[in-house]
Amino acid sequence: MNNIEQILSHAVIEAVNELYGAKVDLSQVQLQITRKEFEGDYTLVVFPLVKVSKKSPEITATEIGDYLCNIQRVAEKYNIVKGFLNLSLNSTTWVGKLNEIAAEQEEYGFVTATPESPLVMVEYSSPNTNKPLHLGHIRNNLLGYALGEIIKANGNHVVKTNIVNDRGIHICKSMLAWQKWGNGETPEATGKKGDHLVGEYYVKFDKAYKAEIAEKVAAGIEKERAEANSELMAEAREMLLKWEAGDETVVSLWKMMNSWVYAGFDVTYKTMGVDFDKIYYESETYAIGRDVVLEGVEKGVLNRREDGSVWADLTADGLDEKLLLRRDGTSVYMTQDIGTAKMRFNDYAIDKMIYVVGNEQNYHFQVLSLVLDKLGFSWGKDLVHFSYGMVELPEGKMKSREGTVVDADDLIADMVKTAREVSEELGKLDGYSKEEAERIYRIVALGALKYFILKVDPKKTMTFNPRESIDFNGNTGPFIQYTYARINSVMRKAAENGYEIPAAIASNLQMNGKELALIKNLSRFPAIVAEAGKAYSPAVVANYTYELVKEYNQFYHEYSILNETDAVKRAARLLLSKTTAIVLRKGFSLLGIEMPERM
């Protein structure tokens, strides 16, 4: 509850006491921001107070509205829609709010964690070491990082983690292909990033496998039988068994190729501006998961079939049976997730665990929650799957095996190129040094990419259009960044002219409609941060910043700031501009987006 809501709530409590001789507590005072289609700033839900007034909702609303306007003067007018009292606050109240925001500055809108605050772990990224990060990973990383920042801004302790899928049949496919056709290639020798090089061999394996199957089918063998008898796939499975048995040659190859991939990932993560507090590796957690599963068999919670495989029977929970260990004893993803979960809760006193994973894994996390619970882990049912939609290109879906994915590094490089082209067309950075211009191109490019992805409701599948994202007009990152840079330009010119920006302005200063609308928008920021945390939606913050920028630009175009001759009004507009810039920067910081001081 912000300061204005506190003042209003206590004013309502006083009004009810004076009007009806009854005491109500804060829980009975229901205030909300007035919906856009109605006139007003805050709406009081009158129905809970009717029991006290013993009058109709309309009469109760009228009496309370009169008291708030004429006796307490916290509102200047009101209107009633059925049982809802819409209150329009006076200018003095809003000037007080601006002064409050200005006083808090960098603290505004964020809640500071205390030693007693909950610890929330957010898992995101979860790459495989058989290919480079791609566009789908970009959405995952950006959502995960932003979600962590938003949860932290809501007063929680946050641990950001990554689970690297560094073992399994898919990893062996890349390893086997390099062993067969690599001729000793290394990232240093080829000049390629390690994750790119390994990814090429994953694609080569798939092509060779398809060619083998096609050849068998052409020889008259049924496709299913051809796949079951694939020599290439049998070699990959044999390599996996050797790895799990600790074969020195296979493990050495695995370590070498994974080291190439990790070096490549680190470069991409740094470019994207995301990081992790702790990285877990499937190669270290799968064995723990396997032990937990075997304990579950001994306890009779899980079932071992005649072929040796282990399953969880979830039919009583409305699901089906889930494989946890194959008949040869090798692990599946679920086994790894069980082990990782146990390891994490041993490492940290986690109050909430959030998995940032695409919606194609919804069923997986339903199963994981139930299996953990059945295995006796009390936190199993409380895990949160932050499920998000896939990201596609205008031309459709991407496929890793066929090499049709959009590589993250290539996309970012193309974004920087596009930002350079658009900026040069518009003459945005004329007069800047080459180094400074290139720095701003990168800030704008990454801002465009991140904002375009994060402004979309996470639950929705989205189509990413690089050129559209870099537009300097409309609901885009560059448009918001440009407005921020414009405000900074105003601040610099004000300093050059010797204009001081006050820490606060007189409470009786009468402000125009545009100024008041901007203050009202700024006042929403704490509620926006809270809503984004509650809904697990960075889109709430992203779209708020756009609304704030639109409001500021309307004010900027209609009213002079630096050329205002009234020194008091000029000082107020400078303070309003400075406060807007602070909120924009804080909003974008939650999204992991940098703001350029100049553009």
Give the whole-angstrom CA distance, residue 12 versus residue 28: 10
Burial bucket for residue 315 (CB in 10 Å: 0-12, 13-18, 19+): exposed
Task: Output the tens digit of pLDDT for each of the chain's 599 residues.
Answer: 677 888 899 999 999 999 999 999 898 999 999 998 999 999 999 999 999 999 999 999 999 999 999 998 889 999 999 889 999 998 888 999 999 999 999 999 999 999 999 999 999 999 999 999 999 999 999 999 999 999 999 999 999 999 999 998 999 999 999 999 999 999 999 999 999 999 999 999 999 999 999 999 999 999 999 999 999 999 999 999 999 899 999 999 999 999 999 999 999 999 999 999 999 999 999 899 999 999 999 999 999 999 999 999 999 999 999 999 999 887 888 999 999 999 999 999 999 999 999 999 999 999 999 999 999 998 888 899 999 999 887 765 544 444 456 889 999 999 999 889 888 887 777 778 889 999 999 999 999 999 999 999 999 999 988 888 888 888 999 999 999 999 999 999 999 999 999 999 998 899 999 999 999 999 999 999 999 999 999 999 999 999 999 999 999 999 999 999 999 999 999 999 999 999 999 999 999 999 998 88
List the one residue out of 560, 156, 529 whose CA is nearest residue 354.
Answer: 156
What CATH number did the domain enclosing 134 receive? 3.40.50.620
Structure tokens of 561? Answer: 């700031």
Residue 401 burial (C-beta neighbours within 10 Å; 0-12, 13-18, 19+): middle
Name the amino acid, one letter, at 37: E
**507 shares a domain with 426:** yes
Dist. CA 426–CA 482, nearest whole Å: 13
Give how many domains the chain has, as a whole number.
3
Boundary (domain end) residue, out of 392, 422, 440: 392
Same-domain status, 218 and 363: yes
Q: How far is 451 from 462, CA to CA, in rounded Å? A: 13
DSSP 472: S
Q: Which amino acid, one-letter code, is at 184? A: G
Q: Are 472 and 366 in the same domain?
A: no
420 and 388 in a common domain: no
Phi/psi at 176 (5° precision) = -65, -40
Q: What is the DSSP letter of 128?
A: B
Verify that 78 and 138 share a domain, yes or no: no
In this structure, is residue 99 part of a structural domain?
Answer: no
pLDDT computed for residue 332 by the predictor: 87
Written as one string, the DSSP assignment of 423-462 is HHHHTTTTT--HHHHHHHHHHHHHHHHHHHHHTS-TTS-E
Residue 106 lies in a domain: no
Of 71, 89, 107, the domain-final residue:
89
Domain co-membership, 381 together with 423 = no
The bridge status of strand 352-358 relative to strand 75-81 is unpaired
Q: 207 and 64 in one domain?
A: no
List, for residues 26-42, the tens digit of each pLDDT value.
989 999 999 989 999 99
* pLDDT for the residue numbered 168: 87
Q: Which residues does residue 134 pair with via DSSP β-bridges, in sequence order?
A: 407
Contacts of 247 (CB under 8 A, 6+ apart): none
Q: Is residue 268 assigned to a domain?
A: yes
pLDDT of residue 400: 44
Residue type, 473: N
106 with 579: CB under 8 angstroms? Answer: no
Domain hosting 356: range is 124-392
Asked, for residue 119, whether it belongs to a domain, the answer is: no
CATH number at residue 534: 1.10.730.10
Q: Give, as one character, the DSSP assignment of residue 112.
A: P
Query: 30 and 162: one domain?
Result: no
For the beta sheet containing 119-123, the strands, ordered from the edge strand earlier in sequence to the opposite edge, are 278-281, 157-164, 119-123, 352-358, 384-388
Q: For residue 401, what pLDDT is reported?
A: 44
Cα 197 vs. chain centroid, distance in angstroms?
30
* 178 closest CA partner among 89, 102, 93, 250: 250
Pair 327, 225 in one domain? yes
pTM for this one? 0.90
Shared-domain flag, residues 354 and 234:
yes
- CA 79 to each of CA 85, 346, 461, 469, 525: distance values in angstroms, whole numbers, following the listed order: 6, 57, 41, 42, 25
Q: What is d(CA 140, CA 138) in angstroms, rounded to the nearest whole number?
A: 5
Assigned domain for 450 exists: yes
Sign of CA dihedral 147, 149, 155, 161: positive
Return the amino acid letter for 169.
I
Residue 96 resides in a domain: no
Asked, for residue 101, whether it belongs to a domain, the answer is no
pLDDT for residue 396: 53
Same domain, 13 and 50: yes
Cβ pair 15, 27 in contact under 8 A: no
Q: Is residue 397 part of a domain?
A: no
Predicted confidence at residue 128, as pLDDT, reads 94
| 525-536 confidence digits (pLDDT tens) | 999 999 999 999
Structure-token pair, residue 359:
């919606």
Same domain, 37 and 172: no
Final residue in a domain of this structure, among 73, 89, 105: 89
Measured between alpha carbons, how far is 420 from 422 in angstroms, rounded to an integer? 6
Find out whether 370 and 380 touch, Cβ atoms under 8 Å. yes
